[in-house]
Structure 1
Amino acid sequence: MTSNFESLPLELFEPIIFNMGPIALASLRQGNKSLNQTLGPYMFSNRKAVNQLMRWGCVHGEIWAIQKALSLGADPSMVEIPIKGEDYGGRASTPVQTPTLCLAARRYHYQVTEFLLLFGAQLDLNGVHHYQIKALRQRLFDCQRPELLLLYLEYGLRDMIPRFQDGIDDALRSSVKACLGLENHRIWLSLGANPIAPGGKCKREPESALSLAILSGSIPVARLLLSLTINWNISAQRLPYTSQTAMNKPSNRPWLAVPMLAAAYRMATHGTTDMMELLLKAGADINVVVGGYWEQSYAMILRLTSPLLTYAFAIDFAAETVPGKLTPHRGFKYLLKKGAELQLRDPEGSLTVWSSISVLHRIWSKANDRDRLLDKRLYGVLRLLIANGGANGMTLSFMLPLSDMRGAPCPWANKPDPTCDKAFQIAMARWRSLLDLLLQHHDYRKCSIHEMLFKFILRLNNLLGDSCFTTNSEYRLDVDATQPITIQQLLDRGANLNHRAQIRYKTFSGNILCHLTFKRNWFHPSELHCYYGANKCQRQLSLVSMLVSLGADPPAISLSRTRFRDVRSVLPWEKPGLARDPHVMEQLHALNGHVDDEDRLSWNPTAGFLLDGPWATAWRTELAAKDPRVATHDWRYYGPVSSARMVAGSGR
């Protein structure tokens, strides 16, 4: 039957038809079958009508439009679409070819996609705009909608999908991160997703699905991911710049990508070993070494890290002990029992690019003041690590550690002495205990006891010089009670100041040490204004006095800058103007083993702690009961060499 629209006069019918687009004409034909044949010729009045109809049907999910376009000779695989110019000025550039499957995937038209695949549509992405490829990947690897990807795989399009493995790995990672459920995770695992593959939006902080599951504490998800046979050798544990994987970029938080580091981080923050046990049963390496940036002092330091070091970085000794959770001592003991190594292994031999950091050094840096030695947990961890070889190669650094700030001492710079005498004695007793354990496990074949003493004094001398010549009180080195104790421990174990040792291709002895120390603060009186004003460098003078008191031969100093002689043999009348200068006299007194009271610093290592304080009274009384000569010693200064040797009782 003829419709009212079709019965219009031709002069009215044709202008209306010509003003209608191909989509409107197709819709009109679809709604009125009587117009199907009448409007057919008008469809081809526009040369792009078939292409527009095909594109419109794919975008809006209208199968009838696609059927009509296919019946009119449209390509089931490709369609032309206009795109705007690069300047976004509104001009349409040359139409580009786009796969019909990409248009159908924009709005997840599953029926349209299946219809196109039945008609033999292929996914040819050669020459396709990268925006179209990116949009297609977002739809295919949507972690919440895997149906579209499953439809592609059903029709054998896996090889045509770009970066298929990376896509399913990202989908599994997003599924775990969004906590979508075990069934959703199982779908992506069945497609071949790798739970330990690193990736993510941020290349500087890659993530893996298994690490995210471990950090979230979900044991069912972790067991599901570990149910597959995982090749732990392909875990991202190589150093940067050696391959193209995402993990080979240095990370600020490497535990987000490496499951074993994530388990160690969870141990430190939650005090539980459930995830660590799951990984060890699955065959993970507890000594895996990766690279990453660690925040230290004023900069991000590029370092190697391991599960044990990650635990050391994340542990908080100041946190309260919670019943049922691991204490720091039990945590370190657990990791060592499971085979964790204290010395980091470089898997690729690139230590020229990366610098490792010792676990013991990290734990020691947490002790930011001497009061921390009163913490039983920290003290127990230090003893545990030293007893297991954690101080190998860093004995001297432990004795006199350095921070990253201009060589300032760490950790006990500018910290007041404890006001409690008992607490101070406990801290010093624990320091002696740590030193005994440290020297007991030291490898003397690499560094003898004499070299250790000389290196310690050289480093101490450098720190003293840096602190004396700065106006910033933040970097001033105050006398630390642990330093004379350390020197005394080395002397008790056989170190001799007059022994000649070779350090860095130079020969050192007590005479040379005194000379270097004396040289750092030796200025002609007429040149004092050119240097550091009237700074008397009392720390160096006190150090020289201590070395001489301990038996070091005094150096030969050139007072006239032309000839050398023993400074003790200089007669006052030979150089009246120079020898009677107060600054020079202070140095001469230091080389004779004593310092003036106002410049005196308690360096005497025989005391075991500072002599300036009420805590020294009990020690002197106890020592005098054992040796009557102690009572006759003048404690105001170190006194002559013989007196110091008598008090030390060592004969050195």
Structure 2
Amino acid sequence: MAKSAPSLENLPQELLDLIISWLLLAGVAHLCACNKNLAMRVQPILFGTAKRVDHAMKWACGRGTETAVRAAISYGASASTVLVGTDNQGEPIRTLTLYLAAKQQQPDGFQVLIDLGARVDVDGVRPSIVTELVDRLCAKPRFLVRFIKAGLVPQLPESLYDGILLAALNIPKDDNTACLECVDRVLDAGADPNCVQYRYRTNKREIISPLSTVILSRRWDLFDLLVRRGGDIKMVRDPPRPYTPPLCSFHVPIMAAAASMATAPDGVDPEPVQRCIDAGADINLTIPSTWGDYFYFIMPVLLYLNSVTSWEEKAE
């Protein structure tokens, strides 16, 4: 009976090294995935240099591969940053591993990195990368929830807290417990419950605040939480400069309530306005606004009338 050809895992290390020297890095990675014995012999080659370790870590973060992430870290990769290139002066450019996982929409890999101690307040990373990470978190609630629950918000610049808070208030209702916990944690980190920010929706420039956000979405548990944590129901704060009166003054809670009352899915619903009044809002508040080149003052009743899209009674 003829003897079977020796398998790769039984080859002397010198021959295996010679074979591997002819493979691309991706081929070495595939070889490493064949079985545990080969992995133990090939990994030191795959992660043999700092450049290869960074390359492997970048690949693992982009694909959410837990085994590869852990292997790269065991060979010296940082759980927080990875080298992605050099600038014109030859200086290394590093990015956040959490940013790579979020960019490639890898929630499991994102969680693995958090569990392994990934941070965002590290040296050598451009501030714009941190801002881009926050933008992606705000657009993806499942990443945002993991980030907040891991206690990473205090590692961010304080200027980004408000955006995180407004995004946390928009976590879907089907995960309401997580939403309440996340909002509480962001407020604990130092976010301002009375912050105001611009937003653009259907070509309209609006200004919103945390209270107006939850009023428009009718999230009364969040409304109560914000009021309890210092949300000012009487707030009339100027928006960020350069300031011109907005088309829609939704950053003022009573104004948001008036608009919400007019756009209730089941007809006129006075609950938003009533809740604001019960909390101390002024139903006769007057604030400046604009329409094109016109400057005028608006009250809740006028905003309500302006928000009504149809005066026809809805069918039962």
Shared fold (TM-score greater than 0.5)?
yes
C-alpha change, 1:200 and 1:27, in structure 2 (3 Å) is farther
2:206 aligned with 1:205, yes or no? Answer: yes
Instruction: Structure 2 unaligned segments of length 5 or more: list them.
Output: none
SS at match of 2:289: strand
Match of 1:168 in 2: 164
Is the CA contact (8 Å cut-off) linking 2:32 and 2:39 kept in structure 1?
A: yes
Match of 1:551 in 2: none
SS at match of 1:76: coil
What is the CA-CA distance between 1:229 and the residue it aligns to?
2.0
Residue number among 76, 80, 96 corresponding to 1:77 in the alignment: 80
Is the CA contact (8 Å cut-off) linking 1:61 and 1:109 kept in structure 2?
A: yes
* Alignment of structure 1 residues 514-525 onto 2, 5 Å: none
* Alignment of structure 1 residues 161-310 onto 2, 5 Å: 161-162=156-157, 163-175=159-171, 182-183=176-177, 185-191=179-185, 192=187, 197-199=195-197, 201-202=199-200, 204-208=205-209, 210-212=211-213, 214-215=215-216, 218=218, 221-222=219-220, 224-227=222-225, 228-229=227-228, 231=230, 233=232, 237-239=236-238, 244=240, 248-254=243-249, 256-265=250-259, 273-293=270-290, 295=291, 299-310=292-303
Match of 2:99 in 1: 102
Amino acid at match of 1:81: V
Deviations 1:228-286 (A, max 9, x none): 4264658652456xxx379x5421111x3222123334566765533222111112233
Matched-pair identity in %: 28
SS at match of 1:102: helix
C-alpha change, 1:143 and 1:259, in structure 2 (3 Å) is farther
Amino acid at match of 1:28: L
Q: Distance in 2 between matches of 1:180 and 1:210?
A: 20
Match of 1:132 in 2: 129
Q: Which has the larger radius of gyration?
A: 1
Is the CA contact (8 Å cut-off) linking 1:239 and 1:290 kept in structure 2?
A: no
C-alpha change, 1:194 and 1:172, in structure 2 (3 Å) is farther
Q: Distance in 2 between matches of 1:173 and 1:140?
A: 13
SS at match of 1:204: strand
Is the CA contact (8 Å cut-off) linking 1:62 and 1:112 kept in structure 2?
A: yes
2:39 aligned with 1:62, yes or no? Answer: no
Match of 1:149 in 2: 147
Q: Distance in 2 between matches of 1:147 and 1:14?
A: 45
Q: Distance in 1 between matches of 2:6 and 2:49?
A: 24
Q: Distance in 1 between matches of 2:307 and 2:110?
A: 50
C-alpha change, 1:3 and 1:118, in structure 2 (3 Å) is farther
C-alpha change, 1:13 and 1:201, in structure 2 (3 Å) is same
Amino acid at match of 1:253: C
Q: Distance in 1 between matches of 2:41 and 2:177?
A: 54
Q: Distance in 2 between matches of 1:126 and 1:234?
A: 40
C-alpha change, 1:49 and 1:79, in structure 2 (3 Å) is same
Give the TM-score, by structure 2 length: 0.70
Going by fraction, where is strand more abundant, 1 or 2? 2
* Alignment of structure 1 residues 239-638 onto 2, 5 Å: 239=238, 244=240, 248-254=243-249, 256-265=250-259, 273-293=270-290, 295=291, 299-311=292-304
Give the TM-score, by structure 1 length: 0.38
Q: Distance in 2 between matches of 1:112 and 1:231?
A: 36
Match of 1:632 in 2: none
Is the CA contact (8 Å cut-off) linking 2:169 and 2:183 kept in structure 1?
A: no
Q: Which has the higher contact order (CA 8 A, sep 6+)?
A: 2
Q: Distance in 1 between matches of 2:213 and 2:48?
A: 59
2:48 aligned with 1:50, yes or no? Answer: no
Amino acid at match of 2:196: P
Q: Distance in 1 between matches of 2:180 and 2:115?
A: 28
SS at match of 2:141: coil
C-alpha change, 1:7 and 1:307, in structure 2 (3 Å) is closer
Q: Distance in 2 between matches of 1:44 and 1:168?
A: 37
Is the CA contact (8 Å cut-off) linking 1:205 and 1:252 kept in structure 2?
A: yes
Is the CA contact (8 Å cut-off) linking 1:76 and 1:120 kept in structure 2?
A: yes
C-alpha change, 1:21 and 1:46, in structure 2 (3 Å) is farther
Is the CA contact (8 Å cut-off) linking 2:102 and 2:110 kept in structure 1?
A: yes
Is the CA contact (8 Å cut-off) linking 1:114 and 1:151 kept in structure 2?
A: no
SS at match of 1:96: strand
SS at match of 1:28: helix
